[in-house]
Every structure is written in C-alpha cells, then in structure tokens.
Structure 1
C-alpha cells in the first residue's frame, strides 16, 4: 500500500483512562484523557499532546501498565466532552482489539501509553481519477468513516463515491460518471444492490473478514483487478510489531505479516484460508 500516511515512530504518549465500555466480544472502547491536560505539563516536563495523527486505516498500539501491547483501531477525538458540552474535546477514543480477560485490564484511572500510527492504511492515491466504492458493516464502519470524509473533502480528485454501509446505499459524483456494469449486494439476496464500474473503480471494504473476502471475490469475479480491491484485516493483528509471527498468513502473492504489511491489504494479499474456506463437515 502507499506510504502516504507513514510518520516517524515516536515513544508512547501517556493517557489516563476516564471511561470504558464493551463494543463487541473481545473488544473494548476506552476513553482517554492526556496526562497534563488543559495546558499543564506532563511528568517529563513537556507539554501534553492531546491530538492524535490522522491515519485512515492504520493502527495504534496500546501499552498497558502491566507491560502488555494491544493493537488498537479507530483512534479518534470525540466530538463531545464527557459532560456533553460541544466544545472541542481533548479526549481520545481507542478501540482495543482482543483484550485479555480480567477485571483489572485497562481499568478506569489507569495510565496507559499510545504509540502509532503503524502499518499501511487505505491507499487513496490509487483511487485518484477513479470512482471509490466503499463497502462496510458492523465493526468496519468506523474504519471507513475517514475514507468517506477525505473523498468528500477532496471530491474533485475522484470521479465518484459510492457507499454500501450496513444495508444502506448512497452516492455522490465529483465528475463524469461511468456506466455501472457491475452489481454488489454484500448483505445477501435481500440487501439493496450497489452498482459499480469494474474498469474504473477502487473498492475499500471493511467488516468481518470472511464476509469482506467474499464480497471482494464477487467484485473480482465481475472484472475488478485484485490490486484495486482493498480489505481491512485488523482482526488479524497480533503483537502490533510483526515480530511474534502470529500475524503471518499465506496469500496468493506470498507470505504476509499483517502487523507489518497491513492492516489494510490488497485482495491478493488476503489469507488463503479466508479466500478459500474449508467446507464444513456434514453431521
């Protein structure tokens, strides 16, 4: 993927957990406040940094007090303060992936570190002059939100934006619209259908990985090149550095380490086990 969002690696920034809530099984969303908020200095004497770099599709690593390193996605600044006011917030929301069990894991009041962004995100450079097809559902919706925002903010750069999100369809044109000769309905036969031009479209898909790969296979079968189909594979992240080997998968293009080569992968980089699942035994 393109290195458009690559930034120099920095030491973890310190935050205190002020709220937490379950988002899905094995996931936890944390609300963090930077240490030394309101302009005060941190423990190291430097001014606290409340903002996080914008990095659509990339991931962060959450460093816990016990020394654990947890991959995290959807790092963003909430639009509201904890008290409900509409002023610009210094809080940060983090969705931690595969959180270990235990009541003391990332408890309210704990101080944690947040480093990143890391890996490769959505390659919007590859979509310049083409239509952008966004398909997302469930946990993938948050990963695709910055893609929609960026395309709308720079609409002259792209031919068209077409969105299939959790069963709803929407489109916006920034230039000449090609004939939609392809059709996709990720939610099944009863879901609304979204048209696309296989020869002039870049697809960006996020959701449960097997369903995402199934949709990618349908797009590819209708003529869309594999290198123009991008898939969010955040659920395959492990240590966040690519060193443990747990994220290494075999793909058509060869071995891929999701922590290092992803988490956004081209369709030809998706695991063979996901693209070609083993048949379920009949009882």
Structure 2
C-alpha cells in the first residue's frame, strides 16, 4: 500500500566512525568531528543509496555503542556522500541534536555508526534564476553554512544572494544584466524587544531559507508572507521536531492542509505552507 511505503522504517546499516573531537553548542546539542573507523559493516539493500554529495539540510542518525540513536545534521564543509563516506577529506562534522546529558555521552574516542542521509533538505533549485535569501539565528547558522558555500560556488545560478545571520546582513550578486530593485523588506524576529538587520528582497522572485529556533523562524515567515512572498517559496528548518530519527515513534507527525506530514520523512526542511498553522 502507498501509505506503508510512505512511512516504511529505515533499516540501512550504519557505517563505522570514531569521534575525534567535540564541542558544545546550545544546551542538549553538540558538534562532533568524526573520522572513518576503518571497518565496513555493510549496508542493507532496503534503502537505495544515491550518488554524489547529500543535499544540505537532510539529517543522519548516529548509533552509539550503548544503543542510543541520535539524529544529527550535516554541517561539514567537506562533502559527506550519500553512503556515509566522505570525499576530499576523511573528517566530517555533524551537529548532534538532543544529546543525552552526562559526561559519558559521545566522548572523544567512542565508536559510532552513521546512517543516512534521510528526509528532504533545502531545495536550492527552487531559487534558480531568482533571489536566494538565507536567514539564520545562532542555533541555525550551522545548518545554512553548507548552503552558503554551495551558493557562492555557483553564484551565477541566482540573481542575488542575501544573508541575514543573527542580525548581520550581507549580500552578493554575480555580474550580469541590471536586476530589479527589491520592493520588499523585513526585520527578522529575534528574542527580546530589539531587532536589527533589515533584509530587502523582491517578493515575486525570492526564495527564503530559514534556520533557527522554530518559533522565531515561523514568526519571521509570517512577516515574509506579509510582504507578498508565497508560502511555498519559504523553506523552514524543522530539525528540532525530529524525535527518534528512525520513522518509528510517530511523534514528529504534523497535521497540515495537505494531510499528515512526518518531519523525518517530508522534512526536516518543510515549506511554510506546511507549517503555517503551527503555534509555538
């Protein structure tokens, strides 16, 4: 049945890695630097592997020796391939989400398995020929870092690139024909009463990628909609809604106008029209 296929359980065998460095992010999160462990456990044939680098924004699952399964986002500047291997360098960085508390969780030297990638990431093709807006709060900047690098490497694909990063604004545009003058502007929502960094854009051609605390991203998405941007052109990172990361628990299920959506399947990057009804 289509429904069973849509929500089938991933069973890909993880590839072995060793933790060679770690540093804290926000409470409950940390970034891990991994190196291949030299042992290949193989992988199940139930999840087809894709060629090339995984799309930014998708997620991976870390399997620890104690049996924990930890969702993680790829924030590496090095290409992490879709079979869990790496290109150009043997090291890769992942931001582990909701790491269990305690000194014995994900220590340097520990062996972990890495399975993925899973879900859907940023749809950069949607912005081809138009403006690409990237809006990242402190906790979401690492999720946008691979996107910035890809966009700068292929800048001729976009009319312009504008970035709002925790209050700072910068932009880049390739040499080319005269571009329309932006007709919209917003100041992204931040905690507290102070908000800084006005972002200007063309609502008809821009595609916005938002990463950070979900409540701030959704509030900012509403401001973009108020300036005339279509909801389907706004993409929001919903990584914080991922629970088990395996498709088993069903706790990431959302009710949307299009029907039920599982963040670990249709996300973790979702269109704003799928999230607009959420209140956080």
What's the TM-score once normalised by structure 2's chain length? 0.81
1:211–1:219 distance in 2 versus 1, CA, 3 Å: same
Deviations 1:111-135 (A, max 9, x none): 1101111110000111111111111
Q: Match of 1:192?
A: 197
Q: Match of 1:264?
A: 269
Q: CA deviation at 1:101?
A: 2.5
1:271–1:15 distance in 2 versus 1, CA, 3 Å: farther
Q: Is the 8 A contact 2:189 2:219 kept in 1?
A: no
1:34–1:229 distance in 2 versus 1, CA, 3 Å: same
1:147 counterpart = 2:147 = yes
1:203–1:246 distance in 2 versus 1, CA, 3 Å: same
1:250–1:106 distance in 2 versus 1, CA, 3 Å: same
Q: Is the 8 A contact 1:254 1:269 kept in 2?
A: no
Q: How many Å separate the matches in 2 of 1:273 and 1:218?
A: 15
Provide the secondary structure at the position in 1 that maps to 2:151: helix
Q: Match of 2:13?
A: 11
Q: How many Å separate the matches in 1 of 2:257 and 2:245?
A: 23
| Coordinate RMSD, CA, aligned | 2.4
Provide the secondary structure at the position in 1 that maps to 2:23: strand
Q: How many Å separate the matches in 2 of 1:77 and 1:146?
A: 6
Deviations 1:122-164 (A, max 9, x none): 0011111111111111121111112222222112221111111
Deviations 1:31-75 (A, max 9, x none): 222113xxxxx3669xxxxxx944211111001112221100134
Bigger shift: 22-31 or 260-269? Answer: 22-31
Q: Match of 2:65?
A: 65
Aligned residues: 249
What's the TM-score once normalised by structure 1's chain length? 0.81
Q: How many Å separate the matches in 2 of 1:126 and 1:244?
A: 31
Q: How many Å separate the matches in 2 of 1:74 and 1:44?
A: 21
